[in-house]
Amino acid sequence: MALRRNHLDPKKTLFLLCDIQEKFRLGMPLFDNMVKNADKLTKAGKALDVPLIVTEHYPKGLGQTVAQLDVSHAKLVSDKTLFSMFTPEVKAVIKDIFNDKPKDVVLYGLETHICMEQTAIDLLEENINVYIVADCCSSRLNQDRDLALDRLRQAGCVITTSESVIFDLVRDAKNVKFDAIRKLVSQPSLDMELKRSGDGQPVGSAKL
């Protein structure tokens, strides 16, 4: 399994956007906040030429990727019934992009405790580093999301946030693409009421 935290390289990184579909909107807490954070991350990936693969779980019943997310640059938008994104079609496109596999995958979407978790485990079994973007993840219950994030951390994933990913990909304010990125991060990401592992306190809170 991949256990090592390293800097992200746009040329060795893949974005996987998991099942952010219209029919989930009413059942997911803070769905709109998640979509806005995911939009920032997806746009940054496009600006930095990070390849993107998108899945849609049973779109006939659950609809397509929400209109707020521009995924027109995706290398693949794939229907699936498998809960994991790591389908034979996705594997083939990944191999075509990287001539083997990426060093790192940035994974975001829903539901955290089902499709995201199973995707992450599949990737770890391929010795691919997995970065879970916590402020771009959702489940129908926040407790399912938070417990899944704990399990994924224990499994060897890096639990991170959209802005951490974006700035790690840029690395330097002299990067020729920083002006485009600066516009995306001019406003802070929206709160997803994440819990800190173990003590149950909201992220950013302090015990007095």
Active site residues: 19, 80, 115
HSE of 104, CA atoms in CB hemisphere, 13 A: 22
Distance CA 89, CA 21 (A): 20
Best CA proximity match to 20, nearest among 50, 45, 57: 57
- 55 alpha carbon, distance to own chain's centre: 12
Contact 127, 105 (CB under 8 A): no
Helix (H) / strand (E) containing 80: strand 76-80
Please give the sequence-ordered ranges of beta strands (E in DSSP) within 94-208, or none if there are none: 104-110, 129-138, 158-160
Pick from 99, 100, 101, 117: nearest CA to 109: 117
Q: Which two tokens stand for residue 83?
A: 């809960």
Distance between CA 201 and CA 54 in Å, rounded?
32
SS3 15: strand
